[in-house]
Each structure stands twice: as structure tokens, then as C-alpha cells.
């Protein structure tokens, strides 16, 4: 990848990171003790039965979302680090350059096709 392409990728990662954080902030509070961790807010709509039911449904959904957002944020953070220290696009296992078309489909790829395949078989 050219430095220009890397720069563009970095910017799009930052934009995605911002969106994810906004979505997370809507359903969770930052955990002040653990960096990058969020604690889900328990919804409180009232004391009626139907309100309690809705609270449980929303809490369940938000917990799943929170996990998904946190995973994505971690992936973005890792990818950004790699761009910064110049290791982006190299396979973590065998250090070969990862195929560019593979990176385009999934910019957070950390393994080349070969290693990814053998990791799946393992």
C-alpha cells in the first residue's frame, strides 16, 4: 500500500471509531477503571410489568451490541497501531505481505491467506 492509501485507511478507521464510540455512549458508560471498557447502562422505564419486560429485552440487546462494538473498537485500535509503527499489511504469523485485495475486503486482517487457512484448519 502507498503512504497515501495508508493515510486514507487511517482516516476512515478514525471515523469509524468515532461512530462506534457514539453508539456505545448511547447504551453504556465508560468504565473509569479499565481503558477501552464500557459498562452497560441498565434501562429503567418504570415499575409496571410491561416496562420491566421491556427493560430486560433492551438490556439483552444492548449487552450484545456492546460486546460487538467493543470488539470492533479493539480491532480498529490494533490496526491503527500497526499503521503507525509500519507493520500494517504484514502477516502476524509469517511476516509475508498480505494480499492487497484481501486487505481491501477486510482492512483488519492480521494473517495472510495461507496462515488464515491453516489457522481455520487447526
| Binding interface with Zn ion (CB under 5 A) | 91, 93-94, 112, 115
Residue 40 or 113 having the CB closest to Zn ion: 113
Closest approach of Zn ion to the CB of residue 97, in Å: 9
Neighbours of 99 (CB within 10 A): 15
Residue 108 or 115 having the CB closest to Zn ion: 115
Sequence-separated (6 or more) residues with CB below 8 Å from residue 19: none
Cβ pair 49, 15 in contact under 8 A: no
Closest approach of Zn ion to the CB of residue 108, in Å: 15
Residue 72 or 82 having the CB closest to Zn ion: 82
Residue 68 or 92 having the CB closest to Zn ion: 92
Closest approach of Zn ion to the CB of residue 110, in Å: 9
Q: How many residues belong to the chain?
A: 122
Alpha carbon distance 113, 42 (integer Å): 42
Closest approach of Zn ion to the CB of residue 113, in Å: 8
Alpha carbon distance 102, 112 (integer Å): 8
Amino acid at each position: 500500500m502507498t503512504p497515501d492509501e495508508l493515510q486514507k485507511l487511517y482516516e476512515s478507521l478514525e471515523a469509524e471509531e468515532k461512530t462506534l464510540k457514539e453508539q456505545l455512549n448511547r447504551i453504556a458508560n465508560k468504565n473509569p477503571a479499565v481503558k477501552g471498557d464500557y459498562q452497560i447502562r441498565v434501562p429503567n422505564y418504570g415499575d409496571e410489568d410491561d416496562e420491566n419486560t421491556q427493560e430486560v429485552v433492551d438490556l439483552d440487546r444492548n449487552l450484545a451490541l456492546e460486546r460487538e462494538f467493543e470488539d470492533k473498537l479493539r480491532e480498529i485500535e490494533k490496526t491503527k497501531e500497526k499503521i503507525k509503527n509500519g507493520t500494517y499489511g504484514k502477516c502476524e504469523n509469517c511476516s509475508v505481505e498480505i494480499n492487497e485485495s484481501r486487505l481491501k475486503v477486510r482492512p483488519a486482517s492480521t494473517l495472510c491467506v495461507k496462515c488464515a487457512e491453516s489457522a481455520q484448519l487447526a
